[in-house]
Every structure is written in structure tokens, then in C-alpha cells.
Amino acid sequence: MSTNPLLDTSGLPLFDQIKPEHVTPALDLLLADAEATLAKVTGPDVPADYDALSLLLDVSTERLGRAWGAVGHLNSVADTPEIRAAYNENLPRVTEFYTRLGADERLYAKYKALNEAQKGLEPERRLSPARQRALDLALRGFVLGGAELQGDAKARFAAIQEEQAAKSQAFSEHVMDATDAFSHYASTEELAGVPEDVLNATRAAAEAEGKEGHKLTLHMPCYLPVMQYAGNRTLRETLYRAYATRASESGPAERDNTQLMADILALRQEEARLLGYANFAEVSLVPKMADNPAQVMHFLRDLAQRARPFAEKDMAELREFARTECGLPDLQAWDVAYVSEKLKEARYAFSDQEVKQYFTEPTVLKGLFGLIEKLFEVQILPDTAPVWHESVRFFGIERQGQLVGQFYLDPYARTGKRPGAWMDDVRGRWTRPDTQGTQTPVAHLVCNFAKGVGDKPALLTHDDVTTLFHEFGHGLHHMLTQVNDIGVSGISGVEWDAVELPSQFMENFCWEWDVVQQLTSHVDTGAHLPRELFDKMVAAKNFQSGMQTVRQIEFSLFDMRLHAEPGSEANVQKVVDEVRQEVAVNIPPAFNRFQHSFSHIFAGGYAAGYYSYKWAEVLSADAYAAFEEAATPESGVLNADIGRRYREAILEAGGSRSAMENFKAFRGREPSIDALLRHQGMS
């Protein structure tokens, strides 16, 4: 067996053995193999047959994809100068290969011939519905991948893909580096009001550097509680300014994303023109549920109109409370989280910090696993695999004694790990044509929680718990699929604006009393969350939901306008300002540069797709309403029959049908916005 761990794709990635020096030699071999395979399948000896093409091409590209996926994952969660250099050295050639593969006219011709041949066959000899959908999506992918372009246009399209990949990677690196680079040392007195567990962590961080006091950073487990609880207004302003100007012209020139944003947007608009579209938003929407940019913007503006009265009321209450109770007649951006927390405590007589003492990480995980086991008729068991950091854990999911999926859980924030939370796939479910065995899906579930200090477990805020449930929803969508065709199993082939349905669906359980009891045990006493405190949380659930809704609409409308209006790259700030004037009730200071760290649209998959979060909220709220409608005093919402229907119609079906067909198979009708407005207290 080869000594290069990236070439061993027979089992799980050998994360504990992969080193930067393995990357280039492995890709030399894997890319050469993929090139040879592409040459073979596009030649005359391989027929336009689904199995014949899959046996060669899918096997080779899946092997390449898994190795490159492992490198990309390490670049996100265990970044070092060496791994970053190896990743960036190989990114252009991997991008170039996939761009060429997706635009290969000979391969496109074989897929078209395969599709055409289906029409003359008797129904029983045609491709299965899942395979036909995979073929339809592949054909659409060829068109969007430039397969119908010729000559200079085709060469330029390929160059654009490479440039975009490099610039998006640079954008992401600048955000990570700007986040990691900031530190501020504060005394205990300056941090008056900040929770004890945060003080312990910041003190430990300072001590690790041989310094006095507390080390403050822009990582969420530190930044957010300081903004919420620190009474020192100057300190809050210092952190806010640093956070709001990350990767902008306010910092070092080598980390400024201003030009990268303009370049990425210009490249996307050029790509759209080459493909015959008026703008990149139109291209982005082809594989989504929404029909066109105008429809999306109408949806967002309609929702903004419904939410705005609630948002204006939220803001007026906040300003009044700041003036009368906090001595802040001029509420500033760095006061909002602090005053909001004080107002919530005054109105509902509890704080996030009080709640956090009950959500100890081991209990949360046990409760989450128990919920999944009951609802979806599976078992989650500890498993073993090589990992990239000592805090990473690995689990298997079984149904009736059979392994159906596995996942890595990487819960804690640390230097060299990009911010945020996400699910990523390691491999998909697939009945392999080379071995005839069914490959089980494997997922990464990544969060950025604060680690426990000393012998104390990590304490999660209720928002952290919701984030964990959200990412598990994505993971279940990937892992519980029963589709065996790789292009449409799990989340593959699912419309991007429906991919958030299973994740947002899971968030609802964080507000159910029966569930929350199983998620809580006080860090000192072991007691469950008291009902009185839970009732206060529920009363506060829609606290500032109007403000939060218009803020999400602000991001979504900014994203859609940016990509639907060619020329916007010349003045990104102007688009930000116009959108805020239209929908925001709380306009940030002029120095705020949130767009410079908006990785979702500049370095993620959400370009002209950020609206998906709101769109999918409609789907997820309506799906969850099925559990509410069937709830009984005995079972609550944990109805295994409805859970089975949901699992079979949505989770197991994956991308083998359209998202609308999946939804209608579960609910018996198209989705309605009513449940969302009710859930958010805006009906």
C-alpha cells in the first residue's frame, strides 16, 4: 500500500497522518488518473451507457474528490502556513480539471446520447427515476459549466473559474487572518459584568502567553459575551470597531478584501454573459426553486413589509430602555447587544448566562442523540476514526443493526479554524459500480463553541444549542438518505434554496419543553432547567424577532441586488447603503464593513442565494407544523409516525426528486408562509 495517506481512499481519511508534503504528490497521481479516465470514457470504446460511464468516471473523480476534500477540510479546521501553501498551490489545477470536466463536449455528447436513448426504450428498461434525475442534473450542469461554449469563450470561461476559486480562497483567508490577528488585553475591572466562565477562558488565554489580565479576541465565544455583558462602553466600542472592520481598508493592506469583492463580482457577471444570461443572479437561480431574481426580491420585500412594523417597535423599545434605564441617550452599534441583553433580563427576568449553566455539552449531546433516535428510528453510537485534533469525536448511526452513516463532531473554537458552523460531506451514499457494495455516507459537523475550562464541561448558550441542532439537520439529510446514486443521494442534487429545510426544521425542537428537559443538567447541581425559566425563554423567544428578520432580509437583498445588477462591483458600499435605507431599522455606523467578511457569498456557496435561509424557513416552519398538528399530551411533538413520514419523504429521498415534490409527499400540499409568521410572533 502507498505510504501517501491521501491515496488511501478505501476507508475513512487518515487525518492523523496527512501532512502538507503529501498533498502535491497525491494530486499528481489522482489528477493524472482522472485525466486518463476522462480520455478513455470520451473515446469510442466506452458506450453511452450509465453503468459504463459511472464505473470509470465516477469512481476516478470520487477518489480525487475525497482526497481533495480532506485537504480542503484541514485547510478550514487546522490551518497552518504549510497546509495553506499546499492547498493554494493545488487549488488552480484542481479547479482547472473540474472546470474542463464540466465543459467537455465529448462527455456532454455521451450524456446527451444516453438521455436520447431513453426515449425509445420500454418503461421497464429505462433508467430509474433517481438515475434519470441525476442525468438531467448532469446535463444542466454541462450547460452551466460552459460545455456549449466554443473557442475563446470556452477558454475564458475556464480562466474565470480558476480566478474565482483563487480569489474566493484569498477572501476566506483574509477573514480568518484578520479574526486571528486581533487581540486586546483587559483588566478584570474593565470586564465587570462579563460571565465567570468567559473570564476564566480569557484569563487562561493571557496566562498561556505569560501576560497579566485577560486576552480578548474576535472569536465568537469571547466577542459575543463581552458585547452582551461588559458594562465598559469604551471596551465594547474597541471590539465592535475591530470586528466590523475585519479584512477591510481599516486594517493592513494585505488583508483588505475591497478589491477582491469587486474582482469576484466582475468575474461572476462576465461568466453570466458568456452563458447568455443578463446577470449572475439568473445563473445562480437555475438550480434553485426560485424562478428569477425579481421573484426573490418580491418575496424579500413582501416579508420586509410584514416584519417592519414589528422591527420598528423593537427598535423604539430598545432606544427608550437605553435612555431611561442605561443612561445611553445616544444608542450606538456597540451598545445594541448590551442594552438588548439588559432589556431582555428586565422584561423576562432571566439572562442568557443563567440559561447557559444548564446546557452542559455532554447532556446536550445525549439529549440531541436521544431525540434523533426516537424520531427517526436509529441508534447513534461512539465510533473510532483518525482525527485532526484531540477534541474531535466520531460516531456511527445504525438502523436495525445496520450502519447507515457516520460523522465527525468538531465543536470548539481555536486558532487556525475558520469561524462559524457548518456541515460538510466526507463521502456520499453510493452503490459503487466497482465493488457493488453500498458506501455509507460520512459527514463533518463543525461548530465554534467555547471549550470548558479545567474539569468543567463546555457550557452552551441556547443559541449554541440551536446552532448544533441546525448543523445536525444538514448532517441527517446527508446521512439518512436511502438513494444509491451518487449525484442525487443525500444533499447532492437538492435545490440550494431548499437545502436549509432539514437544518432549520431541527431548530424547532430547541423550544419544546419535553426536549429541553433532556438537554439540560446544571453544571454544579445537575438539575434540569426549571419550568419557570423555560417559560421565560419561550416568552422571550420572539424578542426582537422583527429586528432579526429585517436584518436577514438586509443581507439577502444586498446579496441578490449585488448579483442581479451588473456594475454593482464598482460600488459595493453604495448597494449596502441603499438596501439599509430601504429595509433596516438600525443603520450601522459609516465605518462598518460587514460585507468585507461576508464569506457566505464571497467564499461560500451562497452567491445570489443568501435568501435561501428565509425561503427555507417557510418550508421548515410548515414541515414542523405537521408535528405540532399531530401532538398529543402523551407524546408531545415527538411523534414517531410523523417522524417516519418526514424521514422517508424528505431525508431519505434527498435529491432524487425536486424539493417541491419531496415537500408535497410529506405535507400533501405546497408550503404556506403562515406557520413561519406564527412561529416568529408576526402573524
Residues with catalytic annotation? 471
Residue pointed to by grid coordinates 474566493: 168
Quote the cell numbers at residue 521.
443538567
> For residues 131 and 305, what is the distance between their CA atoms, to the nearest angstrom?
42
Cα dist. 120→115, 127, 648 in Å? 10, 12, 32
Q: Which residues contact 126 (CB under 8 A, 6 or more apart)?
A: 118, 132
> For residues 556 and 562, what is the distance between their CA atoms, to the nearest angstrom?
10
- Specify the DSSP class assigned to residue 584: -
Closest CA to 478 of 437, 430, 443, 431: 443
Residue pointed to by grid coordinates 483587559: 186
Asked whether the beta carbons of 504 and 473 are under 8 A apart, the reply is yes
Residues making up the chain, counted from first to last: 683
> For residues 404 and 388, what is the distance between their CA atoms, to the nearest angstrom?
23
Asked whether the beta carbons of 465 and 361 are under 8 A apart, the reply is no
> For residues 455 and 457, what is the distance between their CA atoms, to the nearest angstrom?
7
Structural element, H or E, at residue 468: helix 462-479
Asked whether the beta carbons of 183 and 223 are under 8 A apart, the reply is no
Quote the cell numbers at residue 35.
485525466
Letter string b/e over residues 609-639, b meaning 16 or more CB atoms within 10 A of that residue's CB: bbbbbbbbbbbbbbbbbbbbeebeeeeebbb
- HEC per residue, 159-202: HHHHHHHHHHHHHHHHHHHHHHHCCEEECCHHHCCCCHHHHHHH
Asked whether the beta carbons of 620 and 501 are under 8 A apart, the reply is yes
- Angle at the Cα of 169 from the Cα atoms of 588 and 416, rounded to 5 degrees: 80
Question: For 29, how many CA atoms within 13 A lie in the half-sphere containing its CB?
Answer: 12
> For residues 43 and 121, what is the distance between their CA atoms, to the nearest angstrom?
24
Residue pointed to by grid coordinates 487556525: 416
